[in-house]
């Protein structure tokens, strides 16, 4: 950059000299030339050019002033959030669609029940039988208690195939030898209005033998309309009107109970004045197993 300035100055000096030469009068002076005047003009031009060169050299390169820049914004790294996934439970659970017996063993019919699992109750499954239709579960109502539940009306959740196959208890062989002391009495009590158009009869049963009853069957018909009656149950319900409550697993020796043709078996009309013929069967084991005694009864409500 400095050398360019010197070159420009010298070029200016040459131009000045050229211009000064051009300013010499063109008329021919017949007299003697004014040598002193010419010499003085040249000296003034040389002095002026030297001053320009000296000023250029003295000025030197211009000072570069840096414009301050704003500081760069500092970056502070932030910690990356760690996502913790909840562990996936490997438990198998089930929910029953209706109140269901949970029994001491499987298949269901041959074993005494431990507890009634209420509809909608969530329970943990521990094992299953080889046929995968009965499940060994934790009793949700009592600690350290387990039982078997039949899988006909329930919903399973989890990897059922990963369940252990439980070793089943030997199925007890029901005795069919008649027990002399197995007996009951049977009488008609009343006709109950269940809310039109449904009606049901109430029977009074008393266990007069030494063997508990665990099953009841009521079959028969209305002799006027031919309406068929078919009611079976592994429990003996208590009733408020036609609503069932507080089911009993068995009718012990000396105890009594009521039975009604409700859920299922009720009339869809008023059978008053019609003769009803029935057969009532009680058995010492669930599902009509064990010792069974059948008694007929006829009445007109």
- Domains in the chain and their CATH numbers? 92-165 (2.30.30.40), 184-299 (2.60.40)
CA angle 74, 75, 76 (to 5 degrees): 115
What are the Cα distances from residue 130, in Å, to 3, 109, 168, 178, 241?
105, 17, 9, 34, 43
What H or E segment, with its residue span, contains residue 291?
strand 289-299
Residue 105 has what pLDDT? 81
The DSSP annotation for 133-170 comes to SEEEEE-TTSTT-EEEEE-SSEEEES-GGGSEEP-PPP
Residue 127 has what pLDDT? 92
The whole-angstrom separation of Cα 50 and Cα 205 is 147
Neighbours of 38 (CB within 10 A): 11
DSSP E strand stretches across 109-249? 113-117, 122-128, 134-138, 146-150, 154-157, 164-165, 184-195, 198-207, 215-222, 228-233, 236-240, 243-248
Residue 32 has what pLDDT? 47
The whole-angstrom separation of Cα 108 and Cα 171 is 10
Taking each helix axis from N to C end, the angle separating 35-59 and 2-22, rounded to the nearest 10 degrees, works out to 160
> What string of pLDDT tens digits covers the 301 residues of the chain?
555 555 566 666 655 555 555 544 444 444 444 444 555 555 555 565 555 555 554 555 455 555 556 555 555 555 444 444 444 457 899 999 888 888 888 765 668 878 888 889 999 999 998 888 889 999 998 888 999 988 778 899 999 889 998 876 666 555 555 545 899 999 998 888 888 788 999 899 999 998 999 999 999 999 999 999 999 999 887 777 777 777 788 888 888 888 888 887 889 999 999 999 999 999 999 999 999 999 999 999 9
Residue 214 has what pLDDT? 93
Cis peptide, bond prior to residue 180, ω within 30 of zero: no
Instruction: Record the tokens describing residue 102, joined without a space.
Output: 């949970």
Residue 40 has what pLDDT? 55
Neighbours of 294 (CB within 10 A): 11
Q: 110 with 163: CB under 8 angstroms?
A: no
| Burial readout 221-240 (b: 16 or more C-beta within 10 A, e: otherwise) | bbeeeebebebebbbbbebe
Nearest to 7 by CA among 61, 59, 53, 51: 53
What are the Cα distances from residue 238, in Å, to 84, 197, 207?
53, 22, 16
Whole-prediction pTM:
0.42
The whole-angstrom separation of Cα 230 and Cα 242 is 16
């Amino acid at each position: 950059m400095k050398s360019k300035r010197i070159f420009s100055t010298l070029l200016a000096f040459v131009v000045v000299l050229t211009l000064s030469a051009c300013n010499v009068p063109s008329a021919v002076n017949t007299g003697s030339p004014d040598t002193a005047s010419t010499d003085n003009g040249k000296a003034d031009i040389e002095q002026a050019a030297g001053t320009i060169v000296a000023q250029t050299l003295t000025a030197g390169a211009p000072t570069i002033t840096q414009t301050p820049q704003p500081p760069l914004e500092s970056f502070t790294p932030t910690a990356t959030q760690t996502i913790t996934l909840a562990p996936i439970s490997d438990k198998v659970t089930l929910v029953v669609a209706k109140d269901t017996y949970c029994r001491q063993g499987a298949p269901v019919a041959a074993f005494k029940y431990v507890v009634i699992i209420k509809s909608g109750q969530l329970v943990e499954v521990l094992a299953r039988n080889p046929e995968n239709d009965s499940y060994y579960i934790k009793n949700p109502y009592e600690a350290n208690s387990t039982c078997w539940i039949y899988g006909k009306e329930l919903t399973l959740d989890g990897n059922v195939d990963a369940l252990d196959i439980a070793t089943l208890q030997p199925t007890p062989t029901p005795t069919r030898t008649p027990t002399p002391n197995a007996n009951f009495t049977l009488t008609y009590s009343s006709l109950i209005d269940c809310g039109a158009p449904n009606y049901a009869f109430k029977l009074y049963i008393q266990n007069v033998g030494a063997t508990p009853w665990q099953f009841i069957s009521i079959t028969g018909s209305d002799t006027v309309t031919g309406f068929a009656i078919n009611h079976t149950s592994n429990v003996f319900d208590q009733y408020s009107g036609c609503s069932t409550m507080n089911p009993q697993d068995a009718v012990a020796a000396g105890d009594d109970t009521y039975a009604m043709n409700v859920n299922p078996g009720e009339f869809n009309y008023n059978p008053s004045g019609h003769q009803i013929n029935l057969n009532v069967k009680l058995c010492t084991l669930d599902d009509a197993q064990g010792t069974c005694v059948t008694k007929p009864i006829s009445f007109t409500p």
